Structure 1
């Protein structure tokens, strides 16, 4: 005979554990200490096994029956509910350890060691800084639980400080971290893929440049006539041949 909520509430402990059957192999175990525990008895490969479903009243009668049916469906597919439960616990532990910050660190370390394609020290420092801005908001979250809205909120905080280019670059780098997590089988899809166009585009400022050939000649002659520091003159003479930024030239 199936159990009722009234029967469960009125069940009293005895000197020994008492089993109250509900059908389908499930029963409520009333312990001498007064605990009420849901258990499911089943067979896999001819062996009798016991699955712990939960404790009453945290797990009510309806929820216990729902979990029983889920377990029976697994059994019908040739799976062991107890083993699947253990696997789920392991997956949950791994997912909890795989925070956005942890995978950021792993990704940055990989990019530093990526052979010919590896980040230069200056690029690595800048990229890690930009990712740290995102980590301030979502760094502690398991990467599998992060949604597009979480990423957008983190990026908008950077944007709100007027750092439009930093916000854009941080979003790109965060996307790279998420895609790395996908590639290493820790995430199903990149939550930043639908955020393109959500940020304010920064205004591009073009620096002054000489485009007239006559004026270029005047500049080169002025460099040759420069009488200041010898190292500075050499740098000025090299600059037109290599077209690099002043910092790289230094």
Structure 2
């Protein structure tokens, strides 16, 4: 029998956790503390698995059912929801540390020993002055061309020749940029 919103709201905690089943693997797990968690039980490669959908009442019964349907489609397509979620979390954590500033400082650190000391300082100073204030905290995939254009316009105001050289660098074929 399917759950009702009234059953979800009025469920009381007991000495041990217990489950209220909705159907098709979806259930509400009520903890002794009174916390209520939506879970989806499914089988993958002969093993029973559980997927945490969210916390009730932040995730409503209706939203949990919609998520159950979406997850069931993933399972039918051969995607394990637990592994897919772990992949999303890992990619998000990698992107969070792969900011423009982090990557640029790593690039500078690797190349600076081969450069003249004055040139290395100039490159770092320009990054700190023009790129890092506006773009430094963004993960690389989030940086859009209009954001770069804004930085170039700032450079153009104070150092037009440097802006011209940066634009020339951008127009060269990709293979030539890193030589």
Q: CA deviation at 1:5?
A: 2.9
The equivalent residue for 2:125 is: 129
Task: Tell me the distance in 2 between the aligned counterparts of 1:40 and 1:52.
Answer: 7
The equivalent residue for 2:3 is: 3
The equivalent residue for 1:163 is: 159
Task: Tell me the distance in 1 between the aligned counterparts of 2:127 and 2:166.
Answer: 6
User: Deviation digits for residues 5-27 of structure 1, max 9, x if unmatched?
Assistant: 33322222223323122222011
Aligned length: 172
The equivalent residue for 1:154 is: 151
Helix, strand or coil: the match of 1:34?
coil
Which of 1 and 2 has higher RCO (CA within 8 Å, sep 6+)?
Answer: 2
Gaps spanning 5+ residues in structure 1: where?
180-250
* Inter-CA distance 145–18: structure 2 relative to 1 (3 Å threshold): same
Alignment of 1:37-116 (within 5 A): 37-112=37-112
Task: Tell me the distance in 1 between the aligned counterparts of 2:62 and 2:154.
Answer: 44
* Inter-CA distance 12–142: structure 2 relative to 1 (3 Å threshold): same
Alignment of 1:212-223 (within 5 A): none
Gaps spanning 5+ residues in structure 2: where?
175-179
Alignment of 1:217-236 (within 5 A): none
Task: Tell me the distance in 1 between the aligned counterparts of 2:27 and 2:81.
Answer: 16
The structure with the greater share of residues assigned to strand is 2
* Inter-CA distance 42–22: structure 2 relative to 1 (3 Å threshold): same
The equivalent residue for 2:177 is: none
TM-score, length-normalised on structure 2? 0.78
Mapped contact 1:134–1:170 kept (Cα < 8 A): no
Q: CA deviation at 1:138?
A: 1.4
Helix, strand or coil: the match of 1:84?
helix
Mapped contact 1:130–1:170 kept (Cα < 8 A): no
The equivalent residue for 1:30 is: 30
Q: CA deviation at 1:111?
A: 4.1
Moved more, 45-54 or 129-138: 129-138
The structure with the greater share of residues assigned to helix is 2
Task: Tell me the distance in 2 between the aligned counterparts of 1:172 and 1:6.
Answer: 66
For the aligned residue pairs, the C-alpha RMSD in angstroms reads 2.9
